[in-house]
Amino acid sequence: MEACYACYAENGLHGTGIRALAEASGVSPSSLYTYFDDLDDLIVQSTAHCMAKVEDEFMAKAPTSPADIERFVDEIPYWTAKCHGSKYRLMYQVYTHPKYAGHGHEFFAGVDGRYTEYAKQLAPTLGIPHEVITPLIFIFVRACVHFALFEDEFYLKSQMSVLKAGVALFIEKYRGA
């Protein structure tokens, strides 16, 4: 799925046929049909798989302490743009296409639960309740994705400065609670 997704990211959805996908995957075209109903099924499944993997990589870099938050906020948007910008562009192309929009709704509904679980993992480390961390993750991820898509430094820096200040206030608030 990752090889197919990378092939789509490089060549576009419309410029990529079954032969190119099979070649990128190192299998025969008929082998792909063993695992996927058709090209649409491959597009949907590879998009969901690869984007979930990107989320896991993202959260593996999560701050390990309150003091580590600044490193995380400063480093991750640039890492995201460098390593995953083309994947985000393809994801939005897939999930905004009328043919796949329902799958996009399903994927993003799952994002809510996954980010809440990440927040629950971070709560003991940061000393902030997960109900507060979850929306901060949403804001942070959206700013990172926006930067990966458009390299809008002004937007990124304004979002990151507000996040840093907000997190500092929350840490202070809950440390004293």
Angle, helices 69-96 vs 39-60, to 10°: value is: 170
Give the DSSP letter of residue 66.
G
Q: Give this prediction's pTM.
A: 0.88
In tens, the pLDDT along 13-52 reads 888 999 999 999 999 999 999 999 999 999 999 999 999 9
In tens, the pLDDT along 64-123 reads 999 999 999 999 999 999 999 999 999 999 999 999 999 999 999 999 999 999 999 999
Dist CA 147 CA 157 (whole Å): 10
> What amino acid occupies position 80?
T
